[in-house]
């Protein structure tokens, strides 16, 4: 065997060895520096609070700081694009959420999407929504609300915290499922929407249990039904909407994602650590304060969940003709 051929075989063998060892080595040495967790809403918003809660716990488990970076704008697309274009080494992560699945159909011309540009890592939590009305409205149940809406077509204002947001889509799904004719009135955020229904400027609102609960407890708005498949501990006497409208379910969620192409060993490591964090009683208690419940999954389960959610809301966006101006 000549020297050149022998040298080629040695190099090939070395490359093969490096390839075999690269996966475990990456997992053992990761993370090698601070991790940036990009959040799609401003500091202080509930998803931001959740990101900091999980990030702090992950910092302790990973041995490196997890630094939250708020990149809000374009309905969550700015944060998505920031992470999608980052190096796929696990040091830049995205706080994924329901809007990213909705945006697949809401922004059809967006060159970057959660389905093709982000590798799902782990789910974090689930949020339930609640249909509420001003106490002056003569309804106390979901069935009565539907009957009243059918008797007064086009006369009920159903508000949300913004066009294209999940509460808006929850209202459109309710319209599709029941055939009621109500007018959507969007506000810039939950505080404004809650203030409007409390003041009687609008008759009804769908928003998360966490943000609605204080006003429900104070008697300033009336809860008719929750959007989950089962009643929630924070409102045990409030039935699910599905008890009246079979099949109706709306769940908000958060999770972690990384740039597509991030090594599987790093994705799996982050999944294990995140799922471990979610077993911590202190973390679970803090989530409960916001009306959220922990939600664990494998990366593959999370990927399917996102795809199913994008498909579900894509049908609603198309049927309702929702456009973002």
Residue ranges covered by each domain of the chain? 32-126+252-320, 128-243
Contact call for residues 224 and 143 (beta carbons, < 8 A): no
Give pLDDT, residue 9: 46
Contact call for residues 292 and 251 (beta carbons, < 8 A): no
Per-residue pLDDT at 35 exceeds 70: yes
- β-partners of residue 251 are 128
pTM passes above 0.85: yes
Give pLDDT, residue 10: 53
Model confidence band, residue 18 (pLDDT cutoffs 50, 70, 90): very low
Per-residue pLDDT at 104 exceeds 70: yes
Most confident residue range from 11-15, 287-291, 317-321: 317-321
Give pLDDT, residue 134: 98
| Euclidean distance between CA atoms 123 and 304, whole angstroms | 12
Per-residue pLDDT at 100 exceeds 90: yes
Nearest CA among 281, 127, 295 for reference residue 211: 127
Cβ burial, residue 261 (10 Å; 0-12/13-18/19+) = exposed
- Poorest-confidence range of 15-29, 132-146, 160-174, 267-281? 15-29
Mean pLDDT, rounded, for 235-262: 98
Give pLDDT, residue 294: 97
Model confidence band, residue 275 (pLDDT cutoffs 50, 70, 90): very high
Contact call for residues 185 and 134 (beta carbons, < 8 A): no
Per-residue pLDDT at 193 exceeds 80: yes
Condensed to tens digits (0 to 9), the pLDDT of residues 67-77 reads 999 999 999 99
CATH code for the part of the protein at 128-243:
3.40.190.10
Give pLDDT, residue 324: 85
Tokens of 241: 């909407």
Give pLDDT, residue 27: 61
Mean pLDDT computed over every residue of the chain: 93
- Poorest-confidence range of 10-24, 213-227, 243-257, 311-325? 10-24
- Peptide linkage before 53 cis (omega within 30 of 0): no
Mean pLDDT, rounded, for 43-64: 96
Give pLDDT, residue 14: 47
Give pLDDT, residue 5: 52
| Euclidean distance between CA atoms 253 and 116, whole angstroms | 19
Mean pLDDT, rounded, for 214-220: 98
Model confidence band, residue 8 (pLDDT cutoffs 50, 70, 90): very low
Give pLDDT, residue 290: 87
Q: Does domain 32-126+252-320 have CATH number 3.40.190.150?
A: yes
With pLDDT > 90 as the criterion, what percentage of the chain qualifies?
Answer: 88
Are domains 32-126+252-320 and 128-243 of this chain identical in fold?
Answer: yes
In terms of DSSP bridges, do strands 92-97 and 183-186 run parallel, antiparallel, or are they unpaired?
unpaired
């Amino acid at each position: 065997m000549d020297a050149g051929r022998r040298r080629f075989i040695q190099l090939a063998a070395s490359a093969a060895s490096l390839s075999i060892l690269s996966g475990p080595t990456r997992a053992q040495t990761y993370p090698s520096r601070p991790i940036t967790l990009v959040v799609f809403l401003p500091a202080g918003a509930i998803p931001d609070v959740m990101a900091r809660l999980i990030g702090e716990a992950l910092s302790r488990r990973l041995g490196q700081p997890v630094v939250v970076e708020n990149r809000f704008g374009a309905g969550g697309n700015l944060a998505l694009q920031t992470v999608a274009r980052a190096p796929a080494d696990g040091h830049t992560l995205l706080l994924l959420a329901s809007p990213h699945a909705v945006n697949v159909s809401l922004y059809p011309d967006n060159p970057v999407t959660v389905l093709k540009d982000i590798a799902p890592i782990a789910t974090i939590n689930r949020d339930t929504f609640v249909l509420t009305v001003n106490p002056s409205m003569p309804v106390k149940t979901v069935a009565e609300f539907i009957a009243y809406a059918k008797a007064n077509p086009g006369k009920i204002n159903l508000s949300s915290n913004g066009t294209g947001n999940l509460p808006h889509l929850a209202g459109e799904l309710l319209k599709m499922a029941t055939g009621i004719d109500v007018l959507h009135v969007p506000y810039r955020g939950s505080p404004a929407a809650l203030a409007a229904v409390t003041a009687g400027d609008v008759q009804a609102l769908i928003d998360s249990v966490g943000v609605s609960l204080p006003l429900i407890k104070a008697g300033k708005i009336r809860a008719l039904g929750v959007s989950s498949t089962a009643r929630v501990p924070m409102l045990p006497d409030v039935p699910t909407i599905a008890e009246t409208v079979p099949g109706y379910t709306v769940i908000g969620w958060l999770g972690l994602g990384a740039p597509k192409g991030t090594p599987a060993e790093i994705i799996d490591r982050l999944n294990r650590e995140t799922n471990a964090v979610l077993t911590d009683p202190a973390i679970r208690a803090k989530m409960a304060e916001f009306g959220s419940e922990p939600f664990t999954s494998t990366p593959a389960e999370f990927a399917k969940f996102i795809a199913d959610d994008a498909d579900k809301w894509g049908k609603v966006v198309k049927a309702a003709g929702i456009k973002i101006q």
